[in-house]
Amino acid sequence: MSEPWMQAPLQSFEGAVVVARRAPVGMVTLRGDLGAPEMAAAVKGAVGLAMPAQRRIRSGKRGAVAWMSPDELLLFMDHARAPAAVGRLDKALADQHHLAVDVSDARALFTLTGAGVREVIAKGSPADMAPDALPVGEFRRSRIGQVAAAWWLSDAETLHLVCFRSVGDYMFDWLCKAAEKDSLPAVL
C-alpha cells in the first residue's frame, strides 16, 4: 500500500452542499462469523464498540464499525492504529475462520454537509435516499454512476461516503458537479 501522503490532497467544494475529501482514515475489513462471541469481543477490543445491527454503523471515541454484509464489517479508526488493529484482531480470532485486512490506503472518504446531501447522492445512485428509506445511522452499499460506494448519515445534514481511492478523484469531481448551486430538485 502507498503512504497516506501519496493520496490526493484534501479538497473541498462549496455549492448547494459542502463536499470535502477527508484526511486518511484507518479502515480494516473484517470477515468471519459475525454471530460468534469471539468476533464481538475482537471488535470491542479494536474499536470499543458492540457489533452493529444489519445495515447499521456504530460510532464511538475510538472509531466506528459498519455492517457491510452477513459476514463482513468495516472498522474505522485513526489511520496510524489500523496496522496494529489487524494484528490484534488476528490474535483475538486465531481459532476462528476470519480475514482482517488494512484497507486504509485503498479507500477515499468524503463528507457532504448541508440540507441537500440526500439529493446530491440521489442524482447518481439507484438507492432510495428518502428519509424513511435511509434513516440516520443506516449504512448503505450501492453505486454512484458505475462506481461502487458506501455511505451513511451521521445526522440529517451530514453524509459520509467511502469509495476506492483509485476512483477518488472521479468521485470528488462527480460530487462537486452534482452539488452545484441551484441544481438540486428539492424532492427529498
Task: Kindly report the average pLDDT of the chain as a whole number.
Answer: 95
**With bands split at pLDDT 50, 70 and 90, how would you rate the model's confidence at 178?**
very high
Containing domain of residue 115, as a range?
A: 4-23+106-178
Q: Is residue 100 part of a domain?
A: yes
pLDDT mean over 80-102: 98
pTM of the model: 0.92
Residues 9 and 45 both lie in one domain:
no
Identity of the amino acid at 140: R
Range 46-85 burial, b when 16+ CB lie within 10 A, else e: bbebebbeebebbbeebbbbbbbeeeebbbbbebebbeeb
Query: What mean pLDDT is predicted for residues 140-168?
Result: 97
CATH number of the domain enclosing 122: 3.30.1360.120
Query: Within this chain, do residues 90 and 129 fall inside the same structural domain, yes or no?
Result: no
User: Do 89 and 118 sit in the same domain of this protein?
Assistant: no
Please tell me which residue, 143 or 8, carries the higher pLDDT value.
143
- Residue corresponding to grid cell 440516520: 136
Is 84 in the same domain as 134? Answer: no
Task: Please tell me which residue, 142 or 1, carries the higher pLDDT value.
Answer: 142
For residue 185, tell me if it sits in a domain. no
β-sheet bridge partners, residue 101: 29
